[in-house]
Amino acid sequence: MRGGAAAPDGLTIPAPPPAAAAPAAPVIHAAPPVPSYIPPFGLRTIIGCLGMLLAVHVAGFNEHVTEIGLSDIRGAMHIGHDEGTWFTTIYEAFNIASMAFTPWFYMTFSIYRFSIFITATMALLAIPAPFMPDITSLCVLRAFQGLTAGCLPPVLMTVMLKYLPAEIRVFGIGGYAMSATFGPNLGLPLEAFWFEHVGWHWLYWEIIPLAALSVAMLAYGLPRDPMHLERFEKFNWFGLLVGLPAICSLVIVLYQGDRLDWFRSPVITHLALWGGAAFVVFLINESFHPSPYFKIHYWLSRNIQASLLSLVGILAICGLMAELPALYLEEVRGYRPIQTAPVSLVVALPQLIMLPLIAAICNSRRVDCRYVLAGGMLCLAAAAWCGTWLTPDWVRENFYLIQILQVFGQPMTVIPTLMLATLALGPADGPFISGMVNMLKGLANAVAFALFAALTRRREQYHSTMLLDHHGTHGLALQGLGDPIGQQLAGTSPDAAHVARNALEVFHTYIREQALVLGLADIYFILIWVCLFYAVLNVVLPRRVYPPRPPSATAPAH
């Protein structure tokens, strides 16, 4: 049969069209790029996401535990005070700088390989840390460890936004917010536990078992994305060579500025000048480079402007409000970290309940996250108002009300801020906004440190001068009241000159304590107005965003 072929059941199968109708040469189209594999959501994906969350907390513990226990580390390793400040500064500089460049590298080497390598390297670098022979070698080691630790938070943000289904993506944002609320407040109790009950070496080594568990969870749960080494053809070498030292220089200025008296120091002046100029060049390069580390034009969005500015301010406020009770209890009451730990635990432990709760509230389309943010700022303002009543008679229990208000205020501010920053963008924008958000998150800690050091010193000096001035002015009027300090010390020595010197030292101790208390109360007063400013800003400036939802099955395809 010429017109067709007979089928086994007797039917005739039509013959194919004649060969003349076929094109002379087949047109070969390039295959579309293979999309990044997103696994079906299930237990394995959950384990991978939790492993990434644990890795970020391990990096946070490595940062905060060693920073809080710096005085104990200095004593054990025979490091002076000024040298010890560089121990923290170098770590933070490389930690913050690496956050800006991380997204390019995990997109190139794959999230799976990059996360496992960075987490394992961070843990291995902790092993030789207690045995470093001098401060120079220790700072070099801490620089590399900070470089690895800073790579993890941007990966966590991408993992939570990429692998979680749309209907629970806000809970992923809440998990990321744990690194800003739960982790920092847990640093002080962990430092107290490791130093008092195990040994000072474990201030470095405490990350090793948790990092091993995290690597196992990452290896099991994260998908094996392919590497894209062809991205090196457009690698932004100039941006890396200019941006990394620029960011490190600015962070060093913030951490060392107050100790070196800011621009009266040639070191701070040169770092600020050349670091600032290099950072401007870096931003210009990012604006025009075909493969930038982050996109500057995001700042044209009202939501991005409000959320990133708020993120820096909110995290700086939270950092200041964590430092104020710790400094008071240490300097005025003489508390050790193990005695101060309950104050931090009051904020840290309830976050395990409050973060999912606030995420669930913000995940409702009937709730405007801008008003949740404003309510959180009012809670922080109320906590700061309670702090203005600080007196030298306060003990640990007097801070509990302030801490309880922060239990509500911190998650109510951080989660909506991250929603405003991330949910207004598409999936392709995730790596670019991730680096920017995390770099600003790290800079917020540096800004908080610089503000706290400068405000504390200046307000303490002001109040000390005023108290001594009043004493000198009204000293004759108070002579009729006697000399209570001298009377208390009169029986301690038969030498009247020795008693007079001791009485003068006690008097100056009282002056310093009172001046410090008044200075801390001033900082609380400033925080009230800053919180109120951010509450108004986030109601007025950003546009409302809605929690993501999966596309409807009946929606027309485009």
In angstroms, what is the C-alpha Rg of the chain? 29
Q: How many domains does the chain have?
A: 3
Q: Average pLDDT in the 12-16 region?
A: 46
State the DSSP string of 252-317.
HHHHHTTTTTGGGSHHHHHHHHHHHHHHHHHHHHHHH-SS-SS-GGGGGSHHHHHHHHHHHHHHHH
In a domain, 189, yes or no: yes
What is the structure's pLDDT at 502? 73
Name the H helices within 349-399. 351-362, 369-387
Whether residue 270 sits in one domain with residue 317? no
Of 158, 166, 159, give the one whose Cα is nearest residue 551.
Answer: 166
Q: Which domain holds residue 263?
A: 249-290
Provide the pLDDT confidence category of residue 7 given band limits of 50, 70 and 90: very low
pLDDT at residue 485 above 70? no
With 60 as the cut, is the pLDDT of residue 243 above it?
yes
pLDDT of residue 558: 42
What is the residue whose two structure tokens read 């005695």?
339
The SS3 of residue 516 is helix
Residue 12 confidence (pLDDT) above 60: no
What is the pLDDT averaged over residues 380-388? 94
Q: How far apart are the first and last CA of the chain?
A: 46
Range from 56-60, 308-312, 419-423, 493-497 carrying the lowest mean pLDDT: 493-497
Within-domain flag for 460? yes
One-letter identity of residue 373: L
Q: Are residues 371 and 279 in the same domain?
A: no
Let me know whether 285 and 299 are in one domain: no
pLDDT at 29: 39
Place of tokens 């101790």: 509
Across 509-525, average pLDDT: 91
Query: Does one domain contain both 452 and 503?
Result: yes
Cα separation, 16 vs 4, in Å, equals 8
**Residue-wise over 430-445: b if at least 16 C-beta within 10 A, else e?**
bbbbbbbbbbbbbbbb
User: Which three-class secondary structure state does DSSP give residue 12?
Assistant: strand
Residue 46 pLDDT > 80:
yes
Average pLDDT over residues 269-274: 94
| Residues 403 and 531 grouped into a single domain | yes
What is the CA 427 to chain-centroid distance, rounded?
A: 23
- Token representation of residue 449: 């440190």
Instruction: Please indicate, yes or no, if residue 26 is contained in any of the structural domains.
Output: no
Residue 130 lies in a domain: yes
- Are 88 and 217 contained in the same domain? yes
The β-bridge relationship of strands 12-14 and 4-6 is: antiparallel
Instruction: Name the average pLDDT for the chain.
Output: 82
CA distance 36 to 111: 10
Worst-scoring range by mean pLDDT, 30-39, 117-126, 406-415, 499-508? Answer: 30-39
User: Are the C-beta atoms of 240 and 273 separated by less than 8 Å?
Assistant: no
What does the pLDDT read at residue 469?
85
Does 375 lie in the same domain as 438?
yes
Q: Classify the phi-psi angles of 513: left when phi > 0, otherwise alpha if psi is within -120 to 50, otherwise beta.
A: alpha
Residue type (1 letter), 21: A
Same domain? 335 vs 416: yes
Residue that wins the pLDDT comparison between 199 and 26: 199
- Mean pLDDT confidence for 276-302: 84
Question: What torsion do the CA atoms of 131, 134, 139, 144 make, to the nearest 10 degrees?
Answer: -40
Binning pLDDT at 50, 70 and 90, where does residue 358 land? very high
Q: Higher-confidence residue: 546 or 392?
A: 392
| Whole-angstrom distance, CA of residue 91 vs CA of residue 177 | 22
pLDDT of 483 over the 70 cut: no
123 in a structural domain: yes
How many beta carbons lie within 10 A of that of residue 510, not counting itself? 13
Do residues 256 and 147 both lie within one domain?
no
Check pLDDT > 50 for residue 13. Answer: no
Pair (304, 280) in one structural domain: no
Residue 69 CB contacts under 8 Å (≥ 6 apart), including other chains: 191, 194, 195, 200, 203, 337
Q: For 451-480, write each residue's pLDDT tens digit.
A: 888 999 999 989 988 888 887 777 666 666
CA 213, CA 50: separation in Å to the nearest integer?
A: 11
CB 250 within 8 A of CB 279: yes
Mean pLDDT on 186-209: 83
**If you search the block for the tokens 């840390």, which residue do you land on?**
129
* Residue 377 in domain: yes
Q: Tell me, yes or no, whether 48 lies in a domain.
A: yes
On whether the CB atoms of residues 87 and 63 are closer than 8 A, the answer is: no
Residue 552 lies in a domain: no
Average pLDDT over residues 156-181: 83
Give the CATH number of the domain where residue 134 resides.
1.20.1250.20
Query: Does the structure show a pLDDT above 80 at 554?
Result: no
Strand, coil or helix: 456: helix
Banded model confidence at residue 188, pLDDT cuts 50, 70, 90:
confident
Closest alpha carbon to 347 in 272, 292, 391, 400: 400
Same domain, 73 and 118: yes
Q: Would you place residue 21 in the very low, low, confident or very high pLDDT band (cuts 50, 70, 90)?
A: very low
Lowest mean pLDDT among 25-39, 197-211, 374-388, 455-469: 25-39
CA gap 184, 408 in Å, rounded? 16
pTM score of the predicted model: 0.82
Sign of the CA dihedral 83, 87, 92, 95?
Answer: positive
Residue 552's H or E segment, with its range, is: none
At 223 the pLDDT is: 85
Query: Tokens 């009241």 appear where?
Result: 481
Q: Using CA atoms, how far apart are residues 309 and 19, in angstroms rounded to an integer?
A: 67
Q: Average pLDDT in the 309-335 region?
A: 88
Of the ranges 210-224, 442-456, 473-487, which one carries the lowest mean pLDDT score? 473-487
* Mean predicted confidence (pLDDT) in 81-110: 89
Query: What does the alpha-carbon distance between residue 146 and residue 129 come to, in Å, rounded to a whole number?
Result: 13
What local confidence, expressed as pLDDT, does residue 19 receive? 45
Average pLDDT over residues 76-103: 88
**In the predicted model, is pLDDT for residue 281 greater than 60?**
yes
